[in-house]
Amino acid sequence: MAHVEGSHHVTLSVGHAQEDVDFHVKILGMRFIKRTVLFDGSLPIYHLYYSNADGDPSSVVTTFPWAQAGQFGTRGTNQAREVLLSVPEGSLDFWSHRLATHDVEVTDVERFDRRRLAFRHPSGIEYVFVPNTGDPRTGHAGHGVPPEHAIHGIHGVGLHVTTPDRMVEFADESFFAQGAPVEEGDVAALRIGDAKFGNHLEITVNRRDDQGTWRYGAGTHHHFAWNVSDLRNQDDVKFAIEGAGYTDISELKDRKYFKSVYVRTPAGALFELAVTHPEGGWTCDESPHELGSRFQLPEQFEHRREEIFGKLEPIVI
């Protein structure tokens, strides 16, 4: 029976590569696990991967640094907006102090009767720390972030929409939402799939902002990926979505570390149906302790390695 397990990764279009590395590694303490390039098109653009200690699929944040190419996006409505990350219960004071120490403006917010921390990536993308009890995913202790405060992984994704009913209907009838949405003001929250953590979808009514851009462009989300476990289930989920009339959906694309199908949702946000490659995923080209240490290229670009590497921004991990 077709199903979604939970989150797999989130992919963002950010500004410059070094500031992105410094933000995720030196400030957030995440593990750098992969340095490769965008598979689509011919323009050399980094694709950088960050995760928790174990590289769990539901912990991975990946980025395309587009500022080097002069491409910038516009945040607005009818697009994904917030990166929701799960942190240990009781860690928010630590993170509030740490972010402020690194000159990151941080704000206390309350949602669903719980305190959260809101802050921004250097490119302007909105991040939110959500405290959770019992999240079994192991945070990466790095750059002064101790294990008891380290980021578990993805909590979910926040979308902004003009017509929330269409997205709630899609999630409920075609994207395996669990139960009725929980509402607070202009926000409706759902859980997608069977996972106990990392599968939250929050939909905010936003009729103030202009339409956000969907193309590649620094400062915006590109897509949010959901884990569909295996290729047969991926086909079943795709056919179920298409059968409901949502036909803006791609054919299978091989991303080396996972195989993907993309669907444009009624909210405008691009969702990915991802299956981790059965031969190791992130470790198919590097051992677990070597992750992120070498510049990896898709096979079709390998003959251009020296040329491509020479065109990319130099980064220090």
Q: Is 56 left (phi over 0), alpha (psi -120 to 50) or beta?
A: beta
Strands 187-191 and 6-14: unpaired
Report percent pLDDT > 70 for the chain. Answer: 100
The total number of structural domains that make up the chain: 1
Full-model pTM? 0.97
User: Would residue 304 count as lying in a domain?
Assistant: yes
Model confidence at 300, pLDDT cuts 50, 70, 90, reads confident
User: For residue 116, how many other CB atoms are within 10 A of its CB?
Assistant: 18
User: For the domain that residue 30 is a member of, what is the CATH number?
Assistant: 3.10.180.10
User: Would residue 286 count as lying in a domain?
Assistant: yes
CB 175 within 8 A of CB 192: yes
Say how far apart CA 221 and CA 80 lie, in whole Å.
6
CB 259 within 8 A of CB 252: yes
User: Would residue 316 count as lying in a domain?
Assistant: no
Give the burial class of 2: count Cβ atoms within 10 A of its Cβ; 0-12 exposed, 13-18 middle, 19 or more buried.
middle
CB 233 within 8 A of CB 209: no
User: Would residue 1 count as lying in a domain?
Assistant: no
User: For residue 127, how many other CB atoms are within 10 A of its CB?
Assistant: 20
User: Would residue 235 count as lying in a domain?
Assistant: yes
User: Would residue 317 count as lying in a domain?
Assistant: no
Tell whether the model's pLDDT for residue 291 goes beyond 80: yes
Report pLDDT for 100: 98
**Interval 204-263: pLDDT, tens:** 999 999 999 999 999 999 999 999 999 999 999 999 999 999 999 999 999 999 999 999
Q: Which two tokens stand for residue 285?
A: 């080209």
Q: How wide is the angle at C-alpha 226 spanned by C-alphas 223 and 230, nearest 5°?
A: 130
Domain hosting 137: range is: 6-310
Tell whether the model's pLDDT for residue 280 goes beyond 90: no
Tell whether the model's pLDDT for residue 301 goes beyond 90: no
User: Would residue 169 count as lying in a domain?
Assistant: yes
